[in-house]
Copies of this chain bind each other. A is one copy, B any other.
Amino acid sequence: MINKVILVGRLVKDPELKYLEDGKAVTSITLAVNRNFKNQNGDYDTDFLNCTLWKKNAENTANYCRKGSVIGVTGRIQTRSYDNNDGQRVYVTEVIAEGVKFLSTKKEALV
């Protein structure tokens, strides 16, 4: 089946790089993506989309991006669930990045 996502948005905070026990790099980021159309009050809502980056994508993003950086992410939507402390099932939907593109001000980021 097909599952493709393409996002361009801004980092809501500095990315934090972690390493799993097996040495794999991971970073979880949240992208603020402003909508292109106005709501009933006449202003633009924004969606806050969680993305998970792996390996080189994780390391590069942690190295080159900061809160406010504009980033393009291509990937897929993934769902998972877990039981929280209150014994309730929590459903999580996030974007798993397959590619990342740095689009911020600095010219070199745009190559």
A93-B7 Cα distance, complex, nearest whole Å: 15
Q: Are B99 and A36 in contact (CB under 8 A)?
A: yes
Task: Specify how many copies of this chain sit in the oligomer.
Answer: 4
A-B pairs, 10 with minimum CB distance: A93-B93, A2-B8, A1-B33, A6-B6, A4-B6, A1-B9, A47-B79, A1-B8, A3-B33, A1-B34
Interface string of A26-59 (1 = CB under 8 A from B): 0000000111100000001001111000000000
A11 on interface, CB distance cutoff 8 Å: no
Given A36-B101, A48-B79, are A110 and B70 neighbors across the interface (CB < 8 Å)? yes
B contact residues around A44 at 8 Å (CB): 111
